[in-house]
Amino acid sequence: MSLKEWLSNWKNYFLTNFICPSNFQKFGILGVFSQKIPLFLKVPKVLQIPPYFKIPLIFPSQIHSDYVIEVNFSQLLKTLKCDALVTKNSFLFLGIKTADCLPILVSTKSKELIGVVHAGWRGSVKGILYTTLKIFLKEGFKPEEILVAIGPHIKSCCYEVKEDLIEELKLRFDNYKNFVFLKEGKIFLSLERLNLFQACELGIPLQNIWTSPDCTFCLNHLYWSHRFHKKYKKYQISFIGKL
Ligand SMILES: [Zn+2]
């Protein structure tokens, strides 16, 4: 099955558009970011996509932590309280739900190890991406072999934050000023820069990192935005897998 066919299958399944980052496409990696999941649609735990069938799609129970769990088929029925999953298994899809937070997909060029990350401000400050990428390095992969894709999220144009958040950021990052912007007396945070910094700290080359240009708040007709839609919110899904 070609990547294009694969993508159109998912599109029909979820009735929404999917974006496959260019750095993943280049290596034939099956990883996507969705636009708005329709309000009426319940995301299934098992996907039936011809010619493959019954592929489990695992979502963690997201808790804004820096916990990463390596999953295999034995954990399918368990509740996984964490914000990142990694696996070496084929026919096991890893997903994440977001609406403003950063959905991040990680893969080696060889697809041997893949992962998903949910990085809101709490997870980003705790270093969830850093912790996940460390697992890839511990497994013996070189930084040049690792690809990172950051999906649509609330960007610094719209992500106004309070001073107490900056205080927390200061405790962990000496260079916090690189992630913060001031505009008309208000403070804006770039979660994208904060996460890019974590990847670059571990030596991942910038050319291995793809970032979506889309801001979920600005493009609230295409994406669910926690801040914009408030109680009517649903989410985007992002997932990655090997066949
Ligand atoms: Zn925006």
Backbone angles phi, psi at 149, to 5 degrees: -130, 125
Task: Note the pLDDT of residue 46.
Answer: 84
Task: Note the pLDDT of residue 77.
Answer: 82
Could you list the mean pLDDT of each consecutive 10-residue stretch along the chain, which spans 243 residues? 71 84 94 92 80 84 95 90 97 95 98 97 96 98 98 97 94 95 95 97 98 98 94 88 89
Task: Note the pLDDT of residue 52.
Answer: 67
Task: Note the pLDDT of residue 206.
Answer: 97
Cα 107 to middle of ligand 1, angstroms: 27
Burial class (CB in 10 A: 0-12, 13-18, 19+), 163: exposed
Cα 226 to middle of ligand 1, angstroms: 13
Cα 201 to middle of ligand 1, angstroms: 26
Cα 242 to middle of ligand 1, angstroms: 33
Distance (Å, rounded) from C-alpha 66 to C-alpha 132? 8
Cα 188 to middle of ligand 1, angstroms: 11
Q: Do 85 and 94 form a contact (C-beta atoms < 8 A)?
A: yes
Cα 191 to middle of ligand 1, angstroms: 12
Element (H, E) at 69: strand 68-70
Q: Do 137 and 199 form a contact (C-beta atoms < 8 A)?
A: no
Q: DSSP readout, 37-63?
A: PPTTPPPPSEE--TTS--EEEE--B--
Cα 52 to middle of ligand 1, angstroms: 38
Cα 54 to middle of ligand 1, angstroms: 38
Cα 42 to middle of ligand 1, angstroms: 27
**123 to 33, 70, 86, 132: CA distances (angstroms):** 19, 18, 16, 11
Task: Note the pLDDT of residue 97.
Answer: 96
211: left (phi over 0), alpha (psi -120 to 50) or beta: beta
Kindly report the pTM of this predicted structure: 0.95
Cα 105 to middle of ligand 1, angstroms: 21
Place of tokens 């997870």: 123
Cα 72 to middle of ligand 1, angstroms: 37
Cα 153 to middle of ligand 1, angstroms: 9
Cα 128 to middle of ligand 1, angstroms: 23
Domains of the chain: 3-153+204-241 (3.60.140.10)
